[in-house]
């Protein structure tokens, strides 16, 4: 009985690995310009999370409601500014998924930047969990639900939701054909 279970397990994990490898290759082959996509993801993460880290460093241990208000408006504004700047660059390179790459960068690196921000107030890397606990939180933050929960604690939840929902709304409006002011389509 145990031999049959082990044999089935080996066959299923082998099939699972081949599906994952094929899916990853297929996904990476669909990305137009992987290096450019990665650079846009990094730019999106930096444009969104660096102001958050700077506000936490400036506030130190006195982080309060006014700081959350500043974060709520400043983070989406810097992200939007970076989006418009990078979109012009992407049009010249014939890259169409700037917003998606930037949002992916924001969601995947959120844990790292929130831990850096928490370090300024005595948490994060300086907290009781130490480096190992912090690194595990960063690894878990690749899962969007964990980033969502960490953003609620960090004070950047409304900014994160505003950028994400705003991007979906802009995408939907673009798809419907309604012209967006100050937004020029590539020719």
pLDDT of residue 114: 86
More confident residue, 187 or 174: 174
DSSP-derived secondary structure for 2-68: HHHHHHHHHHHHHHHHHHHHHHHHHHHHHSS-HHHHHHHHHHHHHHHHHHHHHHHHHHGGG--HHHH
pTM value? 0.73
Q: How far apart are the first and last CA of the chain?
A: 65
Q: List, for residues 87-110, the tens digit of each pLDDT value.
A: 888 888 888 888 889 999 999 998
- Residue 113's Cβ-side half-sphere holds a number of Cα atoms within 13 Å equal to 25
* pLDDT band at residue 39 using 50, 70 and 90 as cut-offs: very high
* pLDDT band at residue 112 using 50, 70 and 90 as cut-offs: confident
pLDDT of residue 43: 95
pLDDT of residue 118: 81
Residue 5 reports pLDDT greater than 80: no
Rounded to whole angstroms, what are the CA distances from 102 to 46, 92, 124, 135, 172?
9, 17, 24, 23, 17
């Amino acid at each position: 009985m145990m031999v049959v279970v082990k044999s089935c397990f080996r066959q299923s994990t082998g099939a699972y690995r081949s599906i994952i490898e094929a899916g990853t290759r297929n996904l990476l082959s669909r990305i137009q310009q992987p290096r450019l996509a990665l650079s846009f993801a990094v730019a999106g993460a930096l444009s969104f999370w660096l102001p958050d880290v700077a506000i936490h460093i400036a506030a130190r241990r006195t982080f309060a409601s006014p700081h959350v208000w500043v974060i709520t408006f400043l983070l989406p504004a810097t992200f939007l500014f970076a989006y418009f700047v990078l979109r012009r660059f992407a049009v010249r390179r014939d890259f169409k998924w700037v917003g998606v790459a930037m949002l992916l960068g924001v969601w995947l690196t959120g844990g790292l930047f929130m831990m850096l921000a928490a370090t300024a107030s005595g948490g994060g890397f300086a907290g009781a969990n130490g480096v190992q606990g912090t690194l595990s939180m960063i690894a878990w933050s690749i899962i969007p639900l964990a980033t969502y929960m960490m953003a609620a604690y960090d004070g950047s939840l409304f900014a994160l939701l505003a950028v994400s929902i705003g991007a979906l709304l802009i995408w939907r409006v673009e798809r419907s054909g309604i012209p967006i002011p100050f937004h020029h389509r590539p020719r």
